[in-house]
């Protein structure tokens, strides 16, 4: 009843306030309440969704997009893409310390949620394991887009959860009139960490140039209490082995003409970070990772479902099991919810990288070199208004382990997409195109749980839209063929034909009011890890055995939504239902029938006689990749009310709530589903001053899967303030942010290491940005 009451409050409670008369205008102000006014006080320009082929505005799309503008991103955590979007309705983050954070949308993640950078996948190994970071950073990004519906068909089969696109803008489609750029520097107390970034655009003739870079260096971060849920010998006040060091440098060059442009970019990304709660144990045969504590391992999803996901990321890796809404894709069952920022406890024990060498613990050293090519031409042929193409190549690798020993993860990938936008035909305007992807994946070392594997897919798609009076309609379809193979003794090969279709409509039944319906059918082929895994996956403390006989997943989803988009008050409410047939999940085993989840060593050979006796908690859970039908349903609601907008300043109140639940066909709960959440925020701006306070309540998760433990709820309070002034023609902004001001112990239910690695405690962040 409480969650129903909060939903009604968010959707209708403020709606009746007499002080907030509608004052609707003839067109929807799509971003007026969605983004805060920049510190300079100017109103924001209309924001378009670049991941949509027609570059639509939010209000004219089926299944409206959530867009975080450049101004909004400046107030968010830059710890990871997951933390940046974690407090958007329906979206959360899985975490493995602050070094890793993957978005989870409506309980879905992995290959069911595609993470893009400028329209192409990040082409890393983020979906293969819960402890693998995504190779994109949000600091100084132009915007971040979260969307679902028909437009997602352009980006690959199986994205039933949606897509997140980080817009970097490295290949310019215009020539700057003058040198333009921005630099930023910030310090955070919780980890004694520094982060700096800069970007520069300039032009010469018809050529446009871009350069950007960033660097981050943090020590172990502070936490309110002990790292371990059951302290044992763990240290109080600091999360061991949580330091990180990141560097990224990129450059782009483009030629811009009257009818189009063409350009390329090169990016180099390096990231080295610790894996909290993840230790190697020496058994005389090399190194073995393992969470030595993790006794109950609920998070693995036990008994059933845990869907874990080792894989999959937008690249279609093996999908990561779904998980949940807020959860991490791998979600161990619970999850710590991390807090982006950290604490200022400043306990001295945590000081930095050198300590990790003394205390031990696995670390990841990651590197990626990425090349992108983009071109667009207006009116190339009769009947075509524009042709666009984007191709990318990535050489990614990381080594995971302790100093002197580790496992190599190597991913080489090519992806490309070509879109042809046609002129209206009978009132319909649309795009057709094709999408290609090729991936070679290799693991080598103690944690080599997936053999040398290859994946190739080719898809064709069509997306059409029309307006019939006040009704906007979008329809889309995609067919894809995917082949995969692995170098095993039997030479395993798999082929899948995948069909996806989606459609929906928006009805503007009154000025500033809209109701909509969206439906979709998507099919996803099993990821490489789901098909071919056969070995120890030490990051998740499991011994995984894939199944080359897995069927494709088939997802059917329906969304119903209502929005008020204009005036002093904006409201949105979304209700969704998603049924997934042959849902892929990770099932723990009891092959010896003793009533306990089986544990084995990393040298388990498939013989039940090698299963260990109960109580050997430091060894690996035996999991088989299995399939069953599953259902997800829930809602998101958000209200923004402009309380003040005059000479005294502008003040906006935001209320929001979300809820998701997931069950298998036998009515057992899915693992690592985020509990229901609600929150509020208040922003104030006047001239060069901007301030915000945000509160989030994440409730206790006690609707758990079999063998999964419950996770306590928490309160999160953050504040942000900034002041902008001009000097020497430059725009200078001083900012300060406080995170987790209540110093709560935050453990996200979706995290694989929730019982070993809470999010940072109270933190202060202080910095400066200079724009020119």
Tell me the domain boundaries of the chain. 2-771
Q: Are strands 763-771 and 471-486 parallel, antiparallel or unpaired?
A: unpaired
| Residue 28: band (very low, low, confident or very high) from pLDDT cuts 50, 70, 90 | very low
Q: Which of 480, 605, 585 is nearest to 543 (CA)?
A: 605
Identify the pLDDT of residue 338: 38
User: Of all residues in the chain, what percent carry a pLDDT higher than 90?
Assistant: 61
* Residues across the chain: 772
Cβ neighbours for 662, distance < 8 A, ≥ 6 positions apart: 107, 322, 324, 630, 631, 632, 669, 670, 673
Three-state SS string across 427-438, please?
CEEEEEEEEEEE
E strands, 426-549, in order: 428-444, 453-468, 471-486, 493-510, 513-524, 534-537, 542-545
> 636: which strand partners?
574, 658
Side-chain-facing half-sphere of 536: CA atoms under 13 Å: 24
Weakest mean pLDDT among 51-60, 108-117, 721-730: 51-60
Rounded to an integer, what distance in angstroms lies between the CA atom of residue 492 and that of residue 756? 37
Identify the CA nearest to 667 among candidates 697, 628, 625: 628
Per-residue pLDDT for 320 more than 60? no
pLDDT digits (tens, 9 = 90+) for 197-214: 999 999 999 999 999 999
The more confident residue out of 740 and 97 is 740
* Higher-scoring residue by pLDDT: 195, 542: 195
pLDDT digits (tens, 9 = 90+) for 459-506: 999 999 999 999 999 999 999 999 999 998 888 999 999 999 999 999
Please give the average per-residue pLDDT across 98-111, as a whole number. Answer: 87
Average pLDDT, the chain: 83
Instruction: Inform me whether the pLDDT recorded for 13 exceeds 80.
Output: no
Whole-angstrom CA distances from 412 to 103, 113, 702 are 23, 21, 41
Name the E strands within 346-406. Answer: 363-378, 384-401
Q: In this structure, what is the dihedral angle of CA atoms 167, 675, 289, 601, given to the nearest 10 degrees? A: -130
Give the pLDDT confidence score for residue 317 in this predicted structure.
38
User: Distance between CA 96 and CA 362 in Å, rounded?
Assistant: 12
Find the distance separating the first CA and the last CA of the chain, reported in whole Å: 52
Farthest-apart Cα atoms in the chain, separation: 78
Using alpha carbons, list the distances in angstroms from residue 651 to 75, 201, 564, 586, 641.
Answer: 16, 34, 19, 47, 8
Beta carbons within 10 angstroms of residue 588's beta carbon: 25
- Report the predicted TM-score, pTM, of the whole model to 2 decimal places: 0.83
Q: Which residues pair with 476 in a beta bridge?
A: 463, 502
Task: Give the whole-angstrom CA distance, residue 202 versus residue 218.
Answer: 32
Rounded Cα distance between 596 and 615, Å, is 9
| Cα angle 65, 67, 69; round to 5 | 165
- What sign does the CA torsion over 680, 326, 140, 185 have? positive
Structure tokens at 295: 């006794």
Nearest C-alpha neighbor of 364 from the set 402, 320, 310: 402
Q: Encode 744-768 in three state secondary structure.
A: CCCCCCECCCCCCCCCCCCEEEEEE
* Residue 307 confidence (pLDDT): 40
Q: What value does the mean pLDDT take over residues 163-179?
A: 95
3-state helix, strand, coil in the chain (%, to 5): 10, 50, 40
**Residue 39 above 60 pLDDT?**
no
The string of DSSP letters for 305-322 reads T--------TTT-S----
User: What does the angle CA 474 – CA 476 – CA 479 come to, to the nearest 5 degrees?
Assistant: 180
Q: Are strands 553-564 and 236-238 parallel, antiparallel or unpaired?
A: unpaired
Residue 414 has what DSSP assignment? E
Q: What does each C-alpha distance from 212 to 75, 184, 253, 403 come to in angstroms?
A: 20, 12, 12, 31
Residue 371 pLDDT > 80: yes
Q: What is the dihedral of CA 722, 727, 729, 735, to 10 degrees?
A: -20
- The residue ranking higher by pLDDT, 328 or 675, is 675
43 pLDDT above the threshold of 90: no
CA distance 553 to 160: 10
User: Which pair of tokens denotes residue 721?
Assistant: 């303030």
Interatomic CA distance for residues 12 and 406, integer angstroms: 55
Enclosing H/E stretch for 2: helix 2-8
Q: Write the pLDDT tens digit of every residue in 246-294.
A: 999 999 999 999 999 999 999 999 999 998 875 544 433 333 333 333 3
Percent of the chain with pLDDT strictly greater than 70: 81
Bridge partners of residue 460, in order along the sequence: 434, 479
Is the CB of residue 214 less than 8 Å from the CB of residue 79? no
Q: What is the pLDDT of residues 501-552, one digit of tens each?
A: 999 999 999 999 999 999 999 999 999 989 999 888 877 778 899 999 999 9
Q: Identify the pLDDT of residue 308.
A: 41
Six-digit token pair at 608?
């039940």
Question: DSSP label at 566?
Answer: S
pLDDT tens column, 345-361 = 444 444 444 444 445 68
Residue 61 has pLDDT above 80, yes or no: no
| Pairing of the two strands 620-646 and 542-545 | parallel
Section 412-438 average pLDDT: 96
DSSP state of 246: E
Question: Could you give phi then psi for residue 300, rounded to 5 degrees?
Answer: -75, 15
Class level of CATH domain 2-771: mainly beta
Give dist(CA 221, CA 223) in Å, integer: 7
Q: Which residue has the higher pLDDT, 320 or 607?
A: 607
Query: What does the pLDDT average to over 152-172?
Result: 86
Decide if pLDDT at 3 tops 60. Answer: no
Edge-first strand order for the sheet with 66-69 is: 66-69, 143-147, 162-167, 113-117, 120-121
Residues 6 or more apart in contact with residue 564 via CB below 8 angstroms: 15, 512, 513, 514, 570, 571, 572
Q: Across 487-619, where does the E strand assignment appear?
A: 493-510, 513-524, 534-537, 542-545, 553-564, 569-588, 599-600
Structure tokens at 2: 């409480």
- HEC states along 68-89? EEHHHHCCCCCCCHHHHHCCCC
């Amino acid at each position: 009843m409480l969650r129903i009451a909060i939903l009604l409050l968010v959707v209708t409670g403020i709606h009746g306030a007499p002080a907030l008369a509608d004052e609707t205008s003839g067109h929807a102000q799509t971003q007026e309440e969605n983004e805060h006014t920049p510190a300079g006080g100017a109103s924001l320009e209309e924001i378009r969704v670049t991941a949509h082929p027609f570059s639509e505005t939010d209000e004219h799309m089926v299944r409206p997009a959530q867009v975080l503008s450049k101004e909004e991103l400046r107030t968010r955590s830059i710890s990871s893409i997951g933390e940046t979007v974690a407090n958007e309705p329906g979206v959360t983050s899985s975490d493995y310390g602050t070094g890793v954070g993957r978005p989870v949308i409506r309980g879905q993640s992995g290959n069911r949620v595609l993470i893009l950078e400028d329209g192409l996948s990040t082409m890393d190994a983020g979906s293969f394991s819960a402890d693998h970071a995504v190779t994109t950073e949000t600091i100084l990004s132009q915007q971040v887009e979260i969307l679902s519906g028909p437009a997602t068909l352009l980006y690959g089969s199986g994205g039933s959860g949606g897509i997140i696109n980080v817009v970097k803008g490295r290949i310019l489609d215009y020539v700057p009139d003058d040198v333009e750029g921005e630099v930023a520097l910030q310090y955070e107390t919780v980890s004694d960490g520094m982060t700096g970034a800069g970007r520069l655009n300039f032009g010469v003739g018809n050529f446009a140039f871009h350069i950007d870079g960033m660097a981050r260096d943090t020590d172990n971060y502070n936490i309110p209490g002990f790292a371990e849920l059951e302290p044992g010998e763990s240290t109080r006040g600091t999360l061991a082995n949580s330091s990180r060091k990141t560097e990224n440098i990129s450059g782009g060059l483009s030629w811009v003409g009257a009818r189009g442009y063409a350009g390329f970019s090169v990016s180099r990304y390096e990231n080295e970070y610790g894996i909290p709660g993840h230790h190697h144990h020496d058994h005389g045969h090399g190194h073995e990772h393992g969470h030595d504590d993790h006794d109950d391992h609920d998070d693995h999803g036990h008994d059933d479902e845990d869907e874990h996901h080792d894989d999959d990321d937008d690249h279609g890796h093996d999908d990561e099991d779904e998980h949940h809404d807020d959860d991490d894709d791998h979600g161990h069952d619970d999850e710590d919810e991390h807090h982006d920022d950290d604490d200022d406890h400043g306990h001295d024990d945590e000081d930095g990288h050198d300590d990790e060498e003394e205390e031990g613990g696995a670390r990841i050293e990651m590197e990626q070199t990425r090349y992108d090519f983009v071109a667009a031409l207006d009116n190339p042929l009769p009947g075509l208004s524009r042709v666009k193409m984007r191709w990318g190549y990535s050489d990614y690798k990381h080594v995971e382990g302790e100093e002197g020993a580790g496992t190599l993860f190597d991913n080489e990938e090519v992806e490309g997409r070509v879109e042809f936008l046609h002129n209206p035909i009978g009132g319909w305007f649309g795009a057709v195109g094709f999408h290609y992807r090729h991936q070679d994946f290799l693991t080598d070392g103690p944690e080599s749980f997936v053999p040398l594997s290859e994946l190739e897919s080719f898809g064709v798609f069509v997306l059409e839209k029309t307006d019939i009076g006040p009704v906007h309609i979008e329809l889309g379809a995609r067919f894809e063929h995917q082949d995969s193979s692995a170098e095993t003794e039997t030479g395993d090969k798999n082929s899948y034909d995948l069909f996806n279709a989606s459609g929906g409509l928006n009805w503007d039944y009154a000025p500033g009011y809209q109701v909509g319906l969206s439906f979709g059918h998507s099919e996803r082929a099993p990821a490489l890890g789901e098909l071919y895994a056969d070995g120890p996956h030490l990051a998740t403390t499991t011994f995984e055995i894939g199944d080359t006989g897995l069927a494709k997943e088939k997802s059917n989803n329906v969304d119903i939504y209502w929005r008020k988009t204009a005036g002093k008050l904006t409201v949105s409410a979304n209700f969704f239902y998603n049924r997934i047939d042959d849902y892929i999940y990770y099932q723990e085993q009891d092959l010896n029938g003793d009533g306990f989840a089986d544990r084995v060593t990393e040298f388990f050979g498939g013989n039940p006689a090698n299963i260990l006796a109960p109580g050997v908690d430091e060894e690996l859970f035996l999991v088989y990749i299995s399939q069953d039908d599953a259902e997800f349903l829930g809602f998101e609601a958000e209200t923004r009310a402009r309380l003040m907008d005059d000479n005294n300043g502008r003040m906006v109140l935001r209320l929001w709530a979300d809820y998701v639940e997931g069950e298998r066909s036998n009515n057992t709960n899915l693992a690592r589903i985020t509990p229901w959440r609600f929150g509020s925020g208040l922003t104030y701006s006047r001239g060069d001053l901007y301030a915000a306070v945000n509160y989030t309540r994440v409730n206790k998760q006690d609707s758990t899967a079999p063998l999964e433990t419950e996770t306590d709820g928490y309160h999160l309070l953050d504040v942000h303030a900034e002041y902008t002034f001009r000097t020497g023609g430059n725009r200078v902004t001083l900012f300060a942010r406080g995170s987790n001001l209540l110093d709560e112990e935050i453990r996200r239910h979706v995290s694989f290491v929730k019982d070993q690695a809470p999010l940072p405690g109270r933190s202060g962040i202080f910095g400066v940005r200079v724009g020119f």
